Structure 1
Amino acid sequence: MKSNNSIALEIFKNISLSKKEIDFIDSKFEKISLTKGDVLLSSDTHVTNQYYVFSGCLRSFFVNSLGKDHTTQFAVKDWWISDYISFFTEEKSVMTIECLQDAEIYRLSRKDMNSLCEEIPKIETFFRNKMEKAFASFQKRILEYLSLTAKERYIKFITTYPEIEQCVKNYHIASYLGITTESLSRIRKIII
């Protein structure tokens, strides 16, 4: 990959990198093109990769024992997605990741991530900061789920992630908010 088409320069845009570091980073990422409806990751598998979203929209979800799916995350440009329980613990995945819009993503294995962190300490700092923000975000989402009404959760969602609302179907948003599509329709009628 040439430096001007470098995924390293896209992902690590706020980090000063040498040509050698850029080439090393680029060698660790694999580009993948997905079409709407493609399944990137299935539940009950071992996950060894995480994915950087260059374009498009994906969602991760799990299906409960009653067959109902629960959206846990959306991922759009410049976001990362995986089944992190499996990625970090080597347990089988519980998540499925599907493509909601045609997407271009970059795969990074756990082994290659560790190699990048060992060779380029500022990349380790990048990943540590990313994980800290993700942990805080997931904890905040749990607290909001426990303390806010469905209407408040929806308003928070559309104000925080307006670009995601445009990419996904109503039932995906309802699944993410933990409500039915009918409840979401009622909430939308109230706030419009």
Structure 2
Amino acid sequence: MSEILRQQIEEITSLTDEEFEYVLSHFETKKLKKHQFLIQENDLVKNDYFVLNGCLKSYHVDSNGKEHIVQFATQNWWITDFQAHFNKTNATLFIDCIEDCELLSLSLENREKLCSEMHKIEHFFRKKSNSGYVALQQRILSMLNNNPQERYDKLLLSNPILFQKVPKKFIASYLGVSRETLSRFNSGSKK
């Protein structure tokens, strides 16, 4: 399964077999079951996670107990509570498994070590971070400027796999609409 990580890295920079094995030696494999928590609010967040298979959701629970989904992560995606991870503070998000998952875990210390030792890896993470910033800005602007149907259509177009893996109630939360509103949209997603 580690070839998935190598493919992602090599979309940005090439690595020799020896370089990739060295990079991979800084990761640990983690397996979780459906509904199992990866991170809970107030946890210390030491790792960033690369998804080899499965599906996870990252969310915040407000003072009324309502879940607000921030991110989904499927194969080839990275997920953590980034604020807590990079600032070395306690988590403000929950991350749990929608499906059984296999992940590669990378500590902040190992990431920093790899970046200081290998310009190629520093370049990779910089490019991935930049892509993440762009995606976050696009999501915020979509929430501000698009109506629910438009947000739904964009999500379906950009990430159709979610509609096969994720229950409608989670899609609704991610889009900021009720389950009933989502049901009115034309979809082939599961209930």
Paired AA for residue 12 in structure 1? I
1:22 is aligned to 20
Query: What's the CA shift for 1:117?
Result: 0.4
1:116 is aligned to 114
Query: What's the CA shift for 1:9?
Result: 2.6
Paired AA for residue 24 in structure 1? Y
Alignment of 1:90-105 (within 5 A): 90-105=88-103
**Partners of 2:71 and 2:118 in 1: how far apart?**
29
Structure 1 unaligned regions, length at least 5: none
Distance 1:158 1:7, change over 3 A: closer
Paired AA for residue 179 in structure 2? T
**Partners of 2:167 and 2:18 in 1: how far apart?**
43
Counterpart pick for 2:42 among 41, 44, 65? 44
Counterpart pick for 1:9 among 6, 16, 25? 6
CA contact (8 A) 2:5 2:76 kept: no
Paired AA for residue 176 in structure 1? Y
Alignment of 1:138-153 (within 5 A): 138-153=136-151
**Partners of 1:83 and 1:61 in 2: how far apart?**
9
Counterpart pick for 1:76 among 49, 74, 82? 74
Query: What's the CA shift for 1:16?
Result: 2.2
Paired AA for residue 70 in structure 2? T
Q: Give a deviation string over 1:60-104, Cα, whole Å, max 9, x none.
A: 001000000010000011100000010111221111111111111
CA contact (8 A) 2:4 2:76 kept: no
For the residue of structure 1 that corresponds to 2:84, the secondary structure is helix
Query: What's the CA shift for 1:23?
Result: 2.4
Structure 2 unaligned regions, length at least 5: none
CA contact (8 A) 1:39 1:97 kept: yes
Aligned residues: 186
**Partners of 1:187 and 1:16 in 2: how far apart?**
43
Query: What's the CA shift for 1:11?
Result: 4.1
For the residue of structure 2 that corresponds to 1:188, the secondary structure is coil
Counterpart pick for 1:86 among 76, 84, 87? 84
1:66 is aligned to 64
**Partners of 2:105 and 2:5 in 1: how far apart?**
12
Query: What's the CA shift for 1:17?
Result: 1.8
The ranges of structure 1 where at least 4 consecutive aligned residues each deviate by more than 3 angstroms after the TM superposition are 4-8
Paired AA for residue 9 in structure 1? R
CA contact (8 A) 1:46 1:86 kept: yes
Paired AA for residue 159 in structure 1? L
1:171 is aligned to 169
Paired AA for residue 57 in structure 1? C
Give the root-mean-square deviation of aligned CA atoms: 1.7
